[in-house]
Structure 1
Amino acid sequence: MSPPTAGDDGEIPWAYVAPATVQEEEPQISVPDEIVEAGIVTPGESAVWSYEDTTGVLIVSNQELEMDAYVRIGEMTVQQHQNVVRFPAPIQVNPQLVRDQILQQHVHDDAIVEPGERYHFVYRMDGMASGETRSCYLFTDQQVIEHLPDPTDWSKTFAEVPHFY
């Protein structure tokens, strides 16, 4: 299947997958089935956490991203317990454990994973979820508002509208 073409406005369409919240007791996040099915993460294998250098948007991928715009911040093993797939937030961005290390590495503020924070798994439909290196963004509620199309258009853009709307 060929990737979708840009819409009338020149924008590549987005795929909104699902929200997930970083657990309070352990900095882990549950992975939606669609992300596993797309091969973006695989139980028992490593997931690579990165962030976009300018915006701080988190990205998870099945292998390290090669573009200079992405800063690698950790690699963690994807775990499966019963029917729940999850992966830990990399220790480098867990503010409870290593705030000093974060400051030393100059990690973008928006890339810091906060326990209890909700993230939204989204990807651009231009090949992010296909090919050898597969990835998706983990947007905060605010980043969904900032980066995705106008919510009034979401009924024709997304299969599922983000839960906070």
Structure 2
Amino acid sequence: MSPILAIVWIAVIVFACTAILTIAYISGYASKIPEKYGNRLFYILIVQIVGACVSAASYFLAPSHFDKPKENQIPIKDLMVAEKSDSPKIVHDNNKTIYIRSPDVSRARRVAELDFSTDPNFFKKVNVTLSAGISQVIKLEEENYRVGFSQVGIINGEKDTNYDVIFLTVSREK
């Protein structure tokens, strides 16, 4: 649970407890509460209600810093994908996360083999073989995406190891 969500739930619980105690005092069920504390409970409940209304209004009316766009949001152009990479590239489409990896890129043939999945372990994946300059439409969980690449490159790795890379373009297809 995120810290902000925890704070929200704590505030909800405190609000509910204050409301229950105040209603019990006003209706006469909590007669053991002294009058000065009962009056304070009522004022605290009013302040909590006003605070909740102001918070809700500011959330819906003001731009929020929580709504920042995620990195690698579709449509994407020139996403560098290296062959045989240890970690997949992550792309976001609204509330969906798409994982992309490349088992093989051939610079000589200008062909790339790519795996697309919404599962980070690639249990359910869509495998595509792309040729440079020719895009394809893939279906991934009821959504169609157009994928393609036009550039092929190379990265020099450790111990004279070279990795072929492509610069991928991903967009949602209507």
| TM-score w.r.t. length of structure 1 | 0.24
Q: Give the structure with higher Rg (CA).
A: 2
Structure with larger RCO (C-alpha < 8 A, sep 6+) = 1
Q: Which structure features the higher share of strand residues?
A: 2
Q: Which structure features the higher share of helix residues?
A: 2
